[in-house]
Structure 1
Amino acid sequence: MSNIHLKYRLFILVRLLRLRGMAAKSDMYDLAFYDAVADNNLALLKTMGEGRSHTLNREFKVVWDSNHKGMVPIHLATYRGYEDMVEFLIEAGCDVNVITPKTRRTPVHYAVTGNNLACLEMLLNAGAEVNRSDAFGNTACHYAAEDGSCDILDYLILRAACIDIPDMTNKTPLMKAVQTGQIQSVKTLVKAKCHVNARNMNGDIALHLACRLADMDIITYLMIAGSDKNCQNDKGRTPLMEAISYRNKDVVSKMIDYNCDLNLKEFKSGNTTLHIAIRHKYREITSILLATPGVKVQPNDYGEFPALGLILSNDLDMLKILIHNNYDFDMPGKIYITGNSESLATIAMQRSHYNMVQMICSLNCEVLAPDISMPDYLNEFTEGVPTLQRACRKSIRGRLGYRLMQGVKDLPLPTRIKEYLMATELTGFEIETIVTPL
């Protein structure tokens, strides 16, 4: 900074201080001292520091930038990357582990957040602590991983930095790297043997975070590194469940390819992957799940089966998705603690959702109890014997299971019969529609 600029700033400050009745002389000195560091004016800093050794370790009293409050010269110099000044301050005996009063950050933290490797090296060679945590529990490794500063991260690891220290929310540097999508930081930490299955305060591992964010590269790398694909967090949610909740269709497919468990339950509700997908009306994801071998239609802890919600809300579009993907309509809608159960058609009838009743009974050969309130077109479902045509369709669909769509395509039958087996008269979908668009 030019002397003219410095004098102008000092002139303005003097006028303000006089107006406020403050001790202008002292504050002028403090501001000049701060400016010497902020402007990398080493010559001025040396002059002001002569015979005042305590000054170099003193907090800035007056600053232009509020972010610099609580700093001492070595904090700001390392953050700005003023290598000659940092070297001078270290040789002058400045404390290389001095902390700021609020954030409790050390010069090492500032060297890392400022991405200044040379300053970091000088600090560590002078005895600075590499694993000191700030007020948020973050170490230098947390910041380097989060920012993707891999050269600094490599150097910290070389200097024996602990790569698994948790912050105040139990997040490790690996989790910070995942949250900011820093794949190179992830690779660096994994190669250094970090704990890939460490848990944060919610019981999440890094894979949970990656699945929420749909970062395919990081998911792949974490799986190769040995992440627990079926790890349940404090709510009982697996990485797959997180991918479903965040509507990350491609991640769902990828996790299924890794053979993760589709039938684990959330701890509080007992909801499965199917419950989550159907409740949120995620059509593509529901189709993907139902087309996967091994997925089970089972009740949650309240006795509610996955399709119950769409019956209660009269969601015909989601019902068509379930029909198209061969959901097991032999399963009830709800089981009560007495052991009694109600079918989906019965529940729909109770709520006068007659279009749903017709679709379910047509597909599932369900027999209804006669009811004077039901529309005339439902009377055909009150008879005890379904038509042979419907009975055959139900049998074939039951045999094909999750392979329904491909199985029907492979059958040596006329298109019209294939369309009937696929229940296109109920759904309106074409036979070729493997996964319906959102």
Structure 2
Amino acid sequence: MLTFPSAALKAKMYISKAEAWKPLEPNMQSCLTCPGEISVPDAKGTIQPICQAAYNNDFNEVRLLLERNSKYLNIQDSRGGDTPLICACKKGNNQIVSYLLKRNANVNLRNKVSKTKQNENLIKMLLRAGADVNATDSSGCTALHYACEMRNQEVIPLLLEAHADTSVKNQDGETPLDIARRLQFHNIESMLRRNL
């Protein structure tokens, strides 16, 4: 029979940046945000348990937490506003992303800064689920800006096919084409020009 730590035991522990369990300092207090679960406080905010599980690529823990409480699906941590879906995207975990999308995770919730791994399958899943291809982050960048910056020639055509707007300017006044020019990515420049 599987047993889980009690809330009192969980309150005595937190996950460090090295993702190892360590005891809390005496002056730290746990923050309860969902019934029966402990959030992990630190100087930057609170990490939700399901977000930590998604960061750790722990599919079984993500599934278990959602089975216990479906409200975790779109919960945002106070640290950066990440949702479980955003966490899984940041780590490029297609299995967790696919699972969360099947449960109807909100693909258009935004965090404070959103720059995720851009693998082709991940982008396809998010676009099929209705992600806003022209959503901007806090610096005004779209996925197309980042794909150009990262020279991601597999993702750029997917974004363009989904009607990514090549004229969106970020806070620096740059369009995706401007970024490709600045970085001298001539193939990407050509792709973007064909789409004008």
Partner of 2:72 in structure 1?
55
Q: What is the alpha-carbon root mean square deviation over aligned residues?
A: 2.5
Partner of 2:10 in structure 1?
none
Partner of 2:106 in structure 1?
95
CA deviations over 1:307-347 (Å, ceiling 9, x no partner)? xxxxxxxxxxxxxxxxxxxxxxxxxxxxxxxxxxxxxxxxx
- 8 Å CA contact 1:147, 1:177 repeated in 2: no
Partner of 1:33 in structure 2?
50
Amino acid paired to 1:139: T
Deviation at 1:34, TM superposition (A): 3.5
Partner of 2:151 in structure 1?
148
Moved over 4 A (4+): 28-32
Matches within 5 A, 1:8-157: 9-12=20-23, 15-16=24-25, 19-23=26-30, 26-27=38-39, 32-61=49-78, 69-100=80-111, 102-103=112-113, 105=114, 110=116, 114-157=117-160
CA deviations over 1:388-423 (Å, ceiling 9, x no partner)? xxxxxxxxxxxxxxxxxxxxxxxxxxxxxxxxxxxx
Deviation at 1:9, TM superposition (A): 3.1
Q: 1:169 aligns with which of 163, 169, 172?
A: 172
Q: 2:187 aligns with which of 184, 188, 199?
A: 184
Amino acid paired to 2:68: G
Higher relative contact order (CA 8 A, sep 6+): 2
- 8 Å CA contact 1:33, 1:45 repeated in 2: yes
Classify 1:75/1:94 alpha carbon distance in 2 versus 1 (closer, same or farther; 3 Å).
same
Q: Distance in 1 between matches of 2:60 and 2:149?
A: 36
Deviation at 1:189, TM superposition (A): 0.9
Deviation at 1:141, TM superposition (A): 1.2
Deviation at 1:27, TM superposition (A): 3.2
Structure 2 residue matching 1:27: 3-state secondary structure: strand
Structure 1 residue matching 2:104: 3-state secondary structure: coil
Q: Distance in 1 between matches of 2:148 and 2:94?
A: 23
Structure 1 residue matching 2:20: 3-state secondary structure: helix
Q: Distance in 2 between matches of 1:31 and 1:167?
A: 30
Deviation at 1:70, TM superposition (A): 2.4
Deviation at 1:98, TM superposition (A): 0.5
- 8 Å CA contact 2:54, 2:88 repeated in 1: yes
Matches within 5 A, 1:380-419: none
Gaps of 5+ in 1: 1-5, 62-67, 194-438
Larger Rg: 1
CA deviations over 1:109-157 (Å, ceiling 9, x no partner)? 52xxx12111111111011111112222211111111211111111111
- 8 Å CA contact 2:133, 2:159 repeated in 1: yes
Identity of aligned residues (%): 23
- 8 Å CA contact 1:131, 1:140 repeated in 2: yes
CA deviations over 1:271-295 (Å, ceiling 9, x no partner)? xxxxxxxxxxxxxxxxxxxxxxxxx
Amino acid paired to 2:39: D
Deviation at 1:72, TM superposition (A): 1.2
Q: Distance in 1 between matches of 2:175 and 2:119?
A: 22
Classify 1:24/1:72 alpha carbon distance in 2 versus 1 (closer, same or farther; 3 Å).
closer
Deviation at 1:24, TM superposition (A): 6.9
Amino acid paired to 1:89: L
- 8 Å CA contact 1:145, 1:176 repeated in 2: yes
The structure richer in helix per residue is 1
Classify 1:190/1:141 alpha carbon distance in 2 versus 1 (closer, same or farther; 3 Å).
same
Q: Distance in 1 between matches of 2:40 and 2:90?
A: 24
Classify 1:172/1:31 alpha carbon distance in 2 versus 1 (closer, same or farther; 3 Å).
closer
Classify 1:129/1:27 alpha carbon distance in 2 versus 1 (closer, same or farther; 3 Å).
closer
Matches within 5 A, 1:350-361: none
Classify 1:172/1:69 alpha carbon distance in 2 versus 1 (closer, same or farther; 3 Å).
same
- What is the TM-score with the length of structure 2 in the denominator? 0.76
Amino acid paired to 1:27: S
How many residue pairs are counted as aligned between the two chains? 170
Deviation at 1:32, TM superposition (A): 4.4
The structure richer in strand per residue is 2
Q: Distance in 2 between matches of 1:175 and 1:28?
A: 41
CA deviations over 1:218-256 (Å, ceiling 9, x no partner)? xxxxxxxxxxxxxxxxxxxxxxxxxxxxxxxxxxxxxxx
Q: Distance in 1 between matches of 2:31 and 2:138?
A: 34
Amino acid paired to 2:131: A
